[in-house]
Amino acid sequence: MPRDIRSIRNIGIVAHIDAGKTTLTERMLFYAHLIHRPGSVDEGTTVTDYDPEEQERGITIQAACVTFDWRGYHINLIDTPGHVDFTAEVERSLRVLDGAVVVFSAREGVEAQSETVWRQADRYHVPRIAFINKMDREGADYYGTLEEIEKRLECRPIPVNLPIGSGPAHFDNAFCGIIDLISMKALRFVEDKQSAQVIAEEIPPEYLDDARMWRHQMLDQLSLYSDRLTELLLTEEEVPEELIRSVLRQATIGNMVVPVLCGTALHGIGVQPVLDAVVDYLPSPADIPPVEGVDPENPKKKLIRKPDPKEPFCGLVFKVQADRYGDLDYVRVYSGRLTANSRVLNPGKNKKENVPQLWRIQADRRQQIQAVEAGDIVGIMGMRHSVTGDTLCDPKHPILLESIVFPQTVIDVAIEPETTAERKKLIDVLELMKRQDPTFRYKEHEETGQIIISGMGELHLEIITHRLVREYNLKVRVQKPRVSYRETVEKAVEVTGVCHRIVAGQPLWAELVIRMEPFPQAPKPVVVTVECGDALPPPFLKAALEVLEQQGEGGGTFGFPLMQVRVAVLGGRVHETESNELAFRLAAADAFDKALREAGVVLLEPIMRLEVTVPEEYVGDVLSDLQQRRAEIVRTTVRGKNTVIEARAPLANLFGYSNAMRSLSQGRASCSIEPHSYGPAPAEVLESLL
């Protein structure tokens, strides 16, 4: 049955590793009656961490999609991983979701990865609410975390809850409930094995002054967004709850404020209010601007599709799960209606796809459905050409949406099958893994036959090699990880690529002028642009652009992937009878090769951002160790009894860093390392290649 688009919420749960995303998701599923009792991350029994690798390690590795109803609203929720190696899962989820719940640990506050996911959400303009979890932990600090959210994340948090008590059950003033500042009630959460209840009571007298003060502050801040609210405040009249909610909703959807709630997911306090907040404050697909794309035949022409089932169909593939029975593609439907047994166009690849089956996805289970409409998320089984980032659309109304940009891999590992007989199978499996995971690559060395796999970090590649053994029964020898280099060009050059030849008795003639130049701010590895106005007929230009894009995805002079490069088509010459698309393809390939040769090579290495949290007495040792690793210290700040050191260092000098840092501090320091950028590699590395 079609759903009212206003009743849909597509949301993601994002946070630093271990903040409690999966535990929160599990609780939500329990309160929404999807499961009879909540599973536990620590026992490996949650719905969304269903993979054996996740269950054993107690961490989330891949984004999992679940669907449930709350107060008559239909919620599509994606539980994402917090570990930096799996940041692509967060990226693709935020690209297609309309809102997010950002989880913080009340004990740790705003951690390195909290900041990273926050910036990712900023980039996609995703409205969000904050949930300060783990209020039951010793050292939980709601107000401190609130202040960090405001300062470090540069946003306007608006607390709609206050905690009652803080810390574990054996504490005198243990955390036991929350105050809802909108209804001005204290909420207690009572549950047994089967059911859960939220009981609203009067606010305990000792909390009343604080609650009034925070409520007043909340109304004061919200009055910036509503004249009606300002008026009521000025005349000191009662402000209706409905008005507060609607102003808060508009301000949240407009990305101006962030409602903040608190609780403990593990002990089931404060979770139902998060579900209410998802419904009340996060947008439905109808509340966000229409999706924008371009005409695939004419990339300069912008097109939009409204979130309306009556518009022509368009959607974006954001995840592929390879399966024995074929691939399952996760698709966000932006407009129109899609039915099973229909045909769609993949405009990026210019291929028609059959859509044999549609599935509603429930973590590792799925249920077949017949149709899906604008605003929803669906699994399509049995497509042949489409991968993550591809648009699907109505063949009669083509539109190409912006693809998803993923971070560059930073680590390489050489692997080798134990027997040559297994080589073919290994390559097939790696190909399948690459389809699922856009931050995984592999390459066979042309001369030595060595297979190099590349990924986002040591854990990422360790999990991939485990999968080869566990899931596919492949025996491989794995070598030590090393840095994944990149190439860029040294200077800007202008060249003319030519095609003057005869192919199968037919003369082919084309000339294409391009400029290739360094482009440090490039949003993707190689950016191809058009600066020739209407000088070339659109089909010829399109053919040339396709080849330039393809070449850009290949390697540079030393075979390392290219990045920070811009290629602009400046013009060309057409022959009256002998020019065609093939001629322009060949001229484009010639131009690219020439430009690469003339522009010179700069070798780049991955630079990481580190955040090390160290107790005072070890700061000196940790700093001097960092300096030996060519690290640049960005800043140090004091947080409680610890110092937080933020630094940047080449990945080449950070192998084994976690262990070294732990032994320097007798196990008391912790760190988070994530890719930051690429910088010029030391001259010796380039020399060794020459």
Ligand X SMILES: Nc1nc2c(ncn2[C@@H]2O[C@H](COP(=O)(O)OP(=O)(O)OP(=O)(O)O)[C@@H](O)[C@H]2O)c(=O)[nH]1
Residue 246 DSSP one-character state = H
**Cβ nearer to ligand X, comparing 226 with 439:** 439
H or E segment and range at residue 104 = strand 99-105
Residue 49 C-beta: closest distance to Mg ion, Å: 6
If one asks whether residue 21 binds Mg ion (CB under 5 A), the answer comes out as yes
The C-alpha torsion from 461 through 453 and 524 to 605, rounded to 10°, is: 90
If one asks whether residue 16 binds Mg ion (CB under 5 A), the answer comes out as no
d(CA 335, CA 513) in angstroms, rounded, equals 39
Cβ pair 616, 644 in contact under 8 A: no
Residue 41 C-beta: closest distance to Mg ion, Å: 7
Name the residue whose CB lies closest to ligand X. 82
The count of other CB atoms within 10 Å of the CB of residue 17 is: 18
**From the list Mg ion, ligand X, none, which binds 374 (C-beta under 5 to 8 Å, kind-based)?**
none
Residue 448: both structure tokens together: 């030595």
Instruction: Number of residues interacting with ligand X: please give it, by CB under 6 A.
Output: 22
Chosen residue from 11, 17, 35, 404 binding ligand X by CB under 6 A: 17
DSSP string, 255-304: TS-EEEEE-BTTTTBSHHHHHHHHHHHSPPGGGSPPEEEEETTEEEEEEE
If one asks whether residue 138 binds ligand X (CB under 6 A), the answer comes out as no
Instruction: Number of residues interacting with Mg ion: please give it, by CB under 5 A.
Output: 3
If one asks whether residue 19 binds ligand X (CB under 6 A), the answer comes out as yes
Chosen residue from 12, 15, 22, 606 binding Mg ion by CB under 5 A: 22
Site string for ligand X, 324-343 (x = CB under 6 A): --------------------
Residue 165 C-beta: closest distance to ligand X, Å: 14
**Cβ nearer to Mg ion, comparing 21 with 609:** 21
**Cβ nearer to Mg ion, comparing 85 with 390:** 85
If one asks whether residue 42 binds ligand X (CB under 6 A), the answer comes out as yes
**Cβ nearer to ligand X, comparing 169 with 224:** 169
Residue 20 DSSP one-character state = S
Mapping DSSP to helix (H, G, I), strand (E, B) and coil, where does residue 626 land? helix
If one asks whether residue 81 binds ligand X (CB under 6 A), the answer comes out as yes
> Please, what is the Cα angle at 333 between 260 and 329, to 5 degrees?
100
d(CA 7, CA 26) in angstroms, rounded, equals 22
Cβ pair 255, 289 in contact under 8 A: no
If one asks whether residue 264 binds ligand X (CB under 6 A), the answer comes out as yes
Residue 50 C-beta: closest distance to ligand X, Å: 13
**Cβ nearer to ligand X, comparing 291 with 673:** 673
**From the list ligand X, Mg ion, none, which binds 15 (C-beta under 5 to 8 Å, kind-based)?**
ligand X
If one asks whether residue 293 binds ligand X (CB under 6 A), the answer comes out as no
**What letter represents residue 334's amino acid?**
Y
If one asks whether residue 113 binds Mg ion (CB under 5 A), the answer comes out as no
Cβ pair 567, 527 in contact under 8 A: yes
Chosen residue from 27, 28, 60, 141 binding Mg ion by CB under 5 A: 60
Residue 41 C-beta: closest distance to ligand X, Å: 4
**From the list Mg ion, ligand X, none, which binds 481 (C-beta under 5 to 8 Å, kind-based)?**
none
**Cβ nearer to ligand X, comparing 63 with 526:** 63
Residue 87 C-beta: closest distance to ligand X, Å: 11
Span of 263-271, 457-465, 496-504, 598-606 interacting with ligand X by CB under 6 A? 263-271
Mapping DSSP to helix (H, G, I), strand (E, B) and coil, where does residue 100 land? strand
DSSP string, 551-583: HHHSB-TTSSBB-SEEEEEEEEEE-TTT--HHH
If one asks whether residue 78 binds ligand X (CB under 6 A), the answer comes out as no
Span of 60-68, 171-179, 392-400, 557-565 interacting with Mg ion by CB under 5 A? 60-68
287-300: b or e for each residue (b if 16 or more CB lie within 10 Å)?
bbeebebbebeebe
Chosen residue from 18, 51, 376, 611 binding ligand X by CB under 6 A: 18
Residue 531: both structure tokens together: 């600066």
Burial class of 530 by CB neighbour count within 10 A (0 to 12, 13 to 18, 19+): middle
d(CA 569, CA 680) in angstroms, rounded, equals 27
Residue 80 C-beta: closest distance to ligand X, Å: 7
If one asks whether residue 41 binds ligand X (CB under 6 A), the answer comes out as yes
Site string for ligand X, 98-137 (x = CB under 6 A): -----------------------------------xx-xx
Which contacts qualify for 71-74: CB closer than 8 Å, 24 or more apart?
Answer: 71/275, 71/276, 71/279, 72/7, 73/7, 73/8, 73/9, 73/279, 74/3, 74/7, 74/8, 74/9
**Cβ nearer to ligand X, comparing 267 with 337:** 267
Residue 267 C-beta: closest distance to Mg ion, Å: 17
The count of other CB atoms within 10 Å of the CB of residue 151 is: 10
**From the list Mg ion, ligand X, none, which binds 137 (C-beta under 5 to 8 Å, kind-based)?**
ligand X
**What letter represents residue 178's amino acid?**
I
Site string for Mg ion, 226-245 (x = CB under 5 A): --------------------
Chosen residue from 8, 14, 15, 258 binding ligand X by CB under 6 A: 15
Residue 262 C-beta: closest distance to ligand X, Å: 10
**From the list ligand X, Mg ion, none, which binds 106 (C-beta under 5 to 8 Å, kind-based)?**
none
If one asks whether residue 25 binds Mg ion (CB under 5 A), the answer comes out as no
**From the list Mg ion, ligand X, none, which binds 251 (C-beta under 5 to 8 Å, kind-based)?**
none
**From the list ligand X, Mg ion, none, which binds 270 (C-beta under 5 to 8 Å, kind-based)?**
none
**Cβ nearer to ligand X, comparing 25 with 346:** 25
Residue 105 C-beta: closest distance to ligand X, Å: 8
**From the list ligand X, Mg ion, none, which binds 266 (C-beta under 5 to 8 Å, kind-based)?**
ligand X
Residue count (the chain): 690
**From the list Mg ion, ligand X, none, which binds 56 (C-beta under 5 to 8 Å, kind-based)?**
none
> Please, what is the Cα angle at 173 between 171 and 176, to 5 degrees?
100
d(CA 175, CA 193) in angstroms, rounded, equals 21
Residue 478 C-beta: closest distance to ligand X, Å: 24
Cβ pair 106, 137 in contact under 8 A: yes
Which residues have CB under 8 Å from 168's CB, separation 6+? 136, 137, 138, 174, 175
H or E segment and range at residue 684 = helix 683-689
Interaction site with ligand X (CB under 6 A): 15, 17-23, 41-42, 59-60, 81-83, 133-134, 136-137, 264-266
Interaction site with Mg ion (CB under 5 A): 21-22, 60
